[in-house]
A and B are shown apart, each in its own frame.
Chain A
Amino acid sequence: MNAHDSALHTSGDVLAAGSELLRVDNVTLRFGGVTAIEDVSFDILKGEVRAIIGPNGAGKTSMLNVINGFYHPQEGTIAFRGEKRSKMKPYEAAASGIARTFQNVALFHGMSTLDNIMSGRSLKMRQSFLAQMFYYGPARDEEIEHRRRVEEIIDFLEIAHIRRQPVGKLPYGLQKRVELGRALALEPDLLLLDEPMAGMNLEEKEDMSRFIIDVNQQFGTTIALIEHDMGVVMDLADRVVVLDYGKKIADGMPEEVQSNQDVIDAYLGVPH
């Protein structure tokens, strides 16, 4: 019945919890004359919830884009599972186990919840296009297997009631949940969440927080989280890195960061 949840994640990971999953070294990213990220280094450990916070324009989303290969930094290196890489395409990042959600929901609006989440499994499909077209034998077995995984995610996120609805018609909070579902369909090792609670009301935030905790604990998925709501960050994150104007100004436990004078200044502003 529902014992399958724990079987959902079968990444067969060799990395032990607590070891380094991703390392960002001295990364600098420029757009023409604008420096979006300047000499930032930090690491993400296997199994943790790592929050990236900072005021508007601090370079948080750029940082995520660098991690999943959408932007290529001019300087510095990124090592995922110990492998250094300089230029990587987003789909290669996805194939290597990095999934993400977006600040502004980026779903296929005309497609149903089910199809959207199924699309998250496309990287895992092994059968040829032709075989899938004819939908026979192995292609069908494969599809059934994928569908089973997707149904587990639907069950996990409690979105069974919107399975067949086009996502464009859903309320914002649910769209965010569908997007999380699509990212989970990839069975990622590292899940990047870009403001998963932006624009949500308190109840939706509480629901989403619970899902994030459950994903982290039950599947052991490592999570990098950008979030503005400090209450959420303090509750969810194991460690926090703070960016301001593209620079790292703090890195540590939530309580440490919260009482760091630089962070307080960055958020509240200081007289010049």
Chain B
Amino acid sequence: MTASSDGLDTFPKYLLHNAEKFGDRPAMRHKDFGIWQTWTWAQMLEEVRAYSLGLQKIGLKRGDKVAVVGSNRPALYWSFAAVQALGGVPIPVYADSVAEEMVYVLQHAEVRLAVVQDQEQVDKLLSIKDDLPKLETIIYDWERGLGDYEEPFLHHMQGLQKTGRDMLAQDEQVGAGWVEEINKGKGEDLSVMLYTSGTTGKPKGVMLSYDNLVISSRNANKFDGFDENDEIIAYLPLAWVGDHIFSYGQSMTAGYCVCCPESPDTVTENRREIAPTYFFAPPRVFEGLLTDITVRMEDASALKQKMFRYFLDVANRVGEKILNKESVSLKDGLLYRLGDFLVYGPLKNRLGMTRMKVGYTAGEAIGPEIFRFYRSLGLNLKQLYGQTEASVYVTAQPDGEISAETVGTPSPDVEIDIADNGEVLYRSPGVFMGYYKNKKATDETKTKDGWVKTGDAGFLDQNGHLRIIDRAKDVGKLNNGSMFPPKYIENKLKFFPNIKEAVAIGDGRDYTTVMLNIDLQPVANWAERNNIAYASYQELANHPQVYAMMADHVDQVNQDLASEERVAGAQIHRFLVLHKELDADDGELTRTMKVRRSLINERYDPLIDALYDGSTEKYVETEVVFEDGRKGSISATVKIEDAKVYADDALKEAAE
């Protein structure tokens, strides 16, 4: 972990550098009063300096922790730099967390100052102020409704800037003193603390140093070729490491422009106006955009619909090849260009992706169809795999080596290793310093020689690309020793539109089996088109032709699994279609629609037994809870079918 040779090892130093080098280039935009307001790097330096001096005046000291709460507004990004310039540590906090959740983080981080967006956040902090004896000062950005607040510890951010400007006007030495403060900062200093939401237990404060963030940001810029000509729209939560890297770290190190939307509700429209060259979104955003397009197309004229479908077919056939610079026939090439003019171009414009050089998705598995759709339009959408503890980048897909199933090769300077239990480990310059005031958790996650446990199970395929299978703690073993990754199998099944839910069983058993839920909407549609009569969900689910359809899907998943050496042993041997939908009201799913494995195992015990005792059908009665809380029961005879299992080469060899 060496500091960069040019002496640029902290973000405030980069700010000074950028103001010099890119003085007239845009650093930040914000749509306000219906107009994009722009700050150049030189102007931004002036804003940050005035703000920072104001903070100094009200007593911000080296090492102070400063909470930053709000949505993506310039003032909050400036807070990062203004605080860091004085050696303080910003702690972005999720703006939508309720007061009680915020108490824990602010107490744990021992914040002395808080910078917040507006009245709503001020009220929230005032309501918990009694629990936060260390919190001395609150600074707000948007003064609406705060005019008659009389608390002496409340400051308007612009008021602080005025103080700072007055100080500069009175004494020329003040500016030089400020730069001196910046130069005291070192690469190994703590730069920021990001609290991970943590699905279990209390949030943990991940400490990242300037070296972590600066080196990771520089590497990422180099990897995808970002420079001062790029533009990004900042719309993800400030407290999330991704936003901190994309909208702050990479912008500072590459000198590109960060655009803040007018409000969280106008992101889509603002994105169209800006047309960012670099775009990150979790899969659900891409899904949402696609649904939006589909719905709008249904309302379009017949001619437009026809055109849309025709050229989408063309794109489907050759789009990805063209993007990967493979050769296609002359006719297809021409058709694709025509399609780009008539359909893809306007569509990309709508999506605000006209200028997109690189788009990333991460966080969870993206449906292959959705992924392919965007790529076939000629959009360079890629996947990456990252963690807060790694300053985001663990792996990323290099241009031209894209697949929906992998998350790419190790990012620059990152080493990957797979532990014996299948868990992915990494070591990189971006690896965090530790969890704040939590040595135990740090030691559990990070080994002495710098390897970090991701908690995810995965493997490197023959091309050196990482595949993530599942959370490491969920991955089990079959009796023959094969790996059993339930979520991996379930996700593969759920990518079929006809399958709504899937539960894979196999840990500690001889082979894998699954219980499926049909998705009523598409299956009912299909039934109608094929003249299949049915009276109820139960009847439809139990219909022989539906079983045939499911058998087909299971078969495809098995072929898929067989082609992957590490999981070939987990192919599905038997399956059944459940007679009722898994439901959160019955406690089978969580409210966020995740399968509750233990409860399902208990509830459907007779069916699970039947999956393993060779019987072809089983009579069951299941209790259900109606929405008003009354209880009833559903009984049915559920059929169980065998699935075809494929042998892969490795398994065959083992058998010989």
Contact = CB atoms under 8 A, between A and B. Distances in A.
Contact of B143 (A2, A152, A155, A164): A2
B148 interface: yes
Of the listed residues A152, A156, A160, the one surrounded by the most CB atoms of chain B closer than 10 A to its CB is: A160
Given A3-B158, A160-B262, A161-B265, A152 B145 contact: no
A245 to B, nearest CB: 39
B144 A156 contact: yes
B127 interface: no
A5 B144 contact: yes
A160 B265 contact: yes
Interface string B377-416: 0000000000000000000000000000000000000000
A152 B142 CA distance: 13
A147 B33 CA distance: 9
B32 A217 contact: no
A46 B296 CA distance: 50
Given A1-B32, A154-B34, A214 B265 contact: no
Interface in A140-160: 147-148, 151-152, 154-156, 158, 160
Nearest to A3: B158
A164 B142 CA distance: 24
A93 interface: no
Contacts, number: 53
Interface string B26-45: 00001111110100000000
B30 A218 contact: no
Nearest to A1: B32
Contact of A4 (B30, B33, B141, B266): B33
B525 interface: no
Contact of A151 (B34, B145, B263): B34
Given A160-B266, A161-B266, A210 B145 contact: yes
Nearest to A161: B265
Interface residues of A, number: 23
Interface in A1-35: 1-6
A213 interface: yes
Of the listed residues B75, B141, B148, B262, the one surrounded by the most CB atoms of chain A closer than 10 A to its CB is: B262
Interface string B459-478: 00000000000000000000
A2 B142 CA distance: 6
A107 B11 CA distance: 50
B269 interface: yes
B266 A2 contact: no
A6 B30 CA distance: 20
B629 interface: no
A81 interface: no
B145 A218 contact: yes
Nearest to A148: B33
B198 interface: no
Determine chain A's interface SS by DSSP, over half rule.
helix
A247 interface: no
Interface in A186-224: 210, 213-214, 217-218
Contact of A160 (B142, B144, B148, B263): B263
A4 B265 CA distance: 22
A132 B43 CA distance: 36
B147 interface: yes
Nearest to A147: B34
Contacts of A152: 33
A218 B143 CA distance: 10
A161 B34 contact: no
A161 B263 contact: yes
Given A160-B262, A160-B266, A1 B37 contact: yes
Contacts of B148: 217
A248 to B, nearest CB: 32
Contacts of A6: 143, 147
Nearest to B263: A160
A210 B144 CA distance: 11
A156 B263 CA distance: 12
A161 B269 CA distance: 8
Contacts of B37: 1
A156 B30 CA distance: 16
A228 interface: no
Contacts of B147: 6, 217-218
Contacts of B158: 1, 3
Given A217-B147, A217-B148, A218-B147, A2 B265 contact: no
Contacts of B31: 160
Nearest to A5: B144
B33 A3 contact: no
Nearest to A152: B33
Nearest to A2: B142
Contacts of A148: 33
Interface string B243-269: 000000000000000000011011001
B402 to A, nearest CB: 34
Interface string B295-331: 0000000000000000000000000000000000000
Interface of B: 30-35, 37, 74-75, 141-145, 147-148, 158, 262-263, 265-266, 269
20 contacts: A1-B30, A1-B74, A1-B75, A1-B158, A2-B142, A2-B143, A5-B143, A6-B147, A152-B33, A154-B33, A160-B262, A161-B263, A161-B265, A161-B269, A163-B34, A164-B269, A214-B145, A217-B145, A218-B145, A218-B147
Interface of A: 1-6, 147-148, 151-152, 154-156, 158, 160-161, 163-164, 210, 213-214, 217-218
Given A6-B147, A154-B34, A160-B262, 16 more contacts: A1-B32, A1-B158, A2-B144, A3-B158, A4-B33, A5-B143, A147-B34, A152-B33, A154-B33, A160-B31, A160-B34, A161-B262, A161-B266, A164-B269, A214-B145, A217-B147
Closest 3 CB pairs of A and B: A161-B265, A151-B33, A151-B34
